[in-house]
A and B are shown apart, each in its own frame.
Chain A
Amino acid sequence: METMVSPALVNQEVSRPATIPGFGRELKSDEMVINMGPQHPSTHGVLRLELVVNGEVVVDMIPHIGYLHRCFEKHAEHMTNYQQVIPYCDRMDYIASMNNDLGYAIACERLLNIKVPERVEYIRVIMAELNRIGSHLIAIGTYGMDIGAFTPFLYAFRDRERILDIFEQTCGARLLYNYIWIGGLSHDVPANFQEKVKDFCKYFRPNIKELNDLLSYNKIFIERTANVGVLPADVAINYGVSGPVLRGSGVAWDLRKDDPYSIYDRFDFQIPVGDGKMGTLGDCWDRYMVRVREMEQSLNIIEQAIDKIPAGDVQSAVPKRIRPDSSDIYVRTETPKGELGYYIVADGTTSPFRVKVKSPCFVNLSALPAMSRGAMIADVIAILGSIDIVLGEVDR
């Protein structure tokens, strides 16, 4: 059976069927191939996992993707305008659309050598961080549900609702915003925006503690996630994973600090990394906790930025006609899932010749078989949830 990993990278011992001494002959237990997904409650969309199991123990696993492939890259080539690609970017990682748009907008602005106004930069950072909190809330809530705790899921959605209300007030959409444009924004923020965002920060901080009390430090939750799906730092780097999955393994790598874009270099915030507090460094609990602590850091950034928004016109730098010279550019940004890269080739026309996306979810998912071998079926669910994939971005 072909697998996605080289044997050298497999860190966990592969358990093979045991031979039981019988009466005169060896009794051999059999492996069973079991199909998880694409219609399964916990594969976070249309992911299919082919599991080879020995009882409850997973001997091997092959992820099958492509059920949500919507030809993003081909669509991008056939638009009449660079601007028209943005709604398609929304639909990749559809729970963090602001972050997707931000990466594409920055790539196009660098192609065109546009300097966007300060007001736009501040609003973009606030929106991206709000969306990061929203995305992490979904990751944490659904992770609780994967482990069997239903209630934290709805608590997370209750808080995310506040964020979506702010987005809706700003650009009319609650999921697919089409808000961050090349060179600016689609709308200016409403008059009470600052007040609403401050209210949210004040409201949300205590709720992180509530979430920790309810789920993060729950004994059963720790039992289920600590020491499960351990991804050591060297294996993580070899797989090229990024985002909370990489930071959960103890590698402090965050593009907002290490390769700053927009105005992230002006803010004071930490990069939370996993510390193996509850079990082994790089286990599911570490990856989970990195997200919880990142939400706090995002709040810090928002609070620093919200009072400094300068006055100005958010559309003053939006180009009338987008026609970059023949050139190419690679821009990477830190989305909630990890390192999202856009490689754009311009051919001097009004539409891109090629748009290639380096998707963090796709790369992170590739590490799943290595983490899952030797685990139990229930652990596969826990590991998959801790990676936090969005199939819209895996398949594009």
Chain B
Amino acid sequence: MKELLISILQNEILVYVLMAFVPLLWILPFALFAVWWERKIAAHMQDRLGPMRVGGWHGWAQTIADILKLIQKEDAVPAAADKFLFALAPFVVFLGSYAAFAAIPFSAAYVGSEINIGLFFVLSISSLVVIGLLMAGWASNNKWSLFGALRSAAQIVSYEIPVAVALLAVVMVVGSFDLQEINRAQSGMFWNWFVFQKFPFLFIACIIYFVASLAEVNRTPFDIPEAESELVAGYHTEYGGMKFALFFLAEYANMFAVSAIAATVFLGGWNSPFGDFMSGPLWGAFWFITKGMGFVFVQMWLRWTLPRLRVDQLMYVGWKVLIPFSFVVVIGVGLWIMMAQ
């Protein structure tokens, strides 16, 4: 795609700028849709209908109306806040989740930047989010915000370890950090997907990754940084208007980013489940988005079913359950590869 654009526009810099906007074409419609979708899922799980008025058919335009409302709101900054950091924080948070999309392959034909350490890049760039959250909590000059920021820093840093180690198991099998390479290694029928390979090690790795990624994106049962019944709203207590909307957008973008990684690494990414049937660049994007949305749905499903853990219990799950198991998986996969040679 990059080569095509360069040949048309004859200007490399312009092409890179244009390419940088491409993920936005997916993130914005996705966030608009996912917010509405989550409200509908929550409503139907809770024996109610959710938004039904705006736009006619099942309230499809509700999120658009909400965004328009948020844009019109006054951009209030608390008097005692650190104004520079306060204004910067939502952008840093959004940057972290947005940049991750640069290396995520949407289909065999499209990936923003095909770098050979794609998985590594996604993991590290999404860690930027925690800096933004700490900035938001600190700059708000609100004790509840600070609590939320401290909790999220502790949580995200702890849960990055099982995430990375679980993904490492797949990297060992493929022998590459390149996400396209990982995709190509799973081509063929669906039993070639890594979730079914080296059974049960990579299956456990998939579950560990998914559970830990819930904590990475602050979703229930690990949503303690913004636990609304304890911390009011956590790090974004003092935010309103478009700044709040940016946090919200980043949360949903992040939800899809971790789901996309799960889909790519464990469920074959853009590969069709049926070999060459329904396969191709556009079908690839279809399969990739379907798989990603499947994980997003499970995240929503869990959120409206489970209660929330306490801080110390969260740390217990991270350090004493997920990390040891992820190391067992890595050792198991390593031994398997050694035996097979």
Give A contacts to B, CB under 8 Å.
32, 34-35, 40-42, 56, 144-151, 154-155, 158, 214-215, 218, 220-221, 223-224, 376-379, 381
Contact = CB atoms under 8 A, between A and B. Distances in A.
A146 B229 CA distance: 5
A150 B46 contact: yes
Pairs A-B, 10 closest by C-beta atoms: A148-B308, A149-B307, A154-B46, A147-B307, A42-B229, A148-B307, A378-B310, A220-B307, A221-B307, A146-B229
B227 interface: yes
A148 B307 CA distance: 4
Nearest to B313: A223
B306 interface: yes
Contacts of B45: 151
5 contacts: A35-B143, A220-B309, A224-B307, A378-B310, A381-B230
Nearest to A220: B307
Given A56-B311, A378-B310, A148 B223 contact: yes
A221 B310 CA distance: 10
A377 B220 contact: no
Contacts of A154: 46-48
Given A56-B311, A155-B46, A378-B310, A32 B229 contact: no
A254 to B, nearest CB: 29
A377 B307 contact: no
Interface residues of B, number: 28
B31 to A, nearest CB: 21
Contacts, number: 77
A336 to B, nearest CB: 22
Nearest to A375: B310
A231 B204 CA distance: 41
A158 B305 CA distance: 17
A163 to B, nearest CB: 16
Contacts of A151: 42, 45-46, 304-305
B124 to A, nearest CB: 29
A221 B307 CA distance: 6
Interface string B219-253: 01101100111111000000000000000000000
A41 to B, nearest CB: 5
A150 B232 contact: no
Contacts of B74: none
Contacts of B210: none
A34 B143 contact: yes
B143 to A, nearest CB: 5
Contact of A379 (B42, B47, B229, B310): B310
A381 B143 contact: no
A40 B305 CA distance: 23
A147 B46 contact: no
Contacts of B147: 56, 377
Given A40-B232, A149-B307, A218-B307, A376 B42 contact: no
Contacts of A224: 307-310, 313
A42 to B, nearest CB: 4
Interface string B307-324: 111111100000000000
B48, B221, B229, B306 — most chain A CB neighbours (10 Å): B229
Given A56-B311, A218-B306, A218-B307, A148 B46 contact: no
Given A146-B229, A148-B227, A148-B229, A376 B46 contact: no
B223 A376 contact: no
Contacts of A223: 309-310, 313
Given A148-B220, A223-B309, A378-B310, A41 B48 contact: no
A145 B143 contact: no
B304 A150 contact: yes
Interface in B77-132: none
Contacts of A155: 46-47
Nearest to B151: A56
B309 A42 contact: no
Given A154-B47, A154-B48, A220 B230 contact: no
A158 B46 CA distance: 9
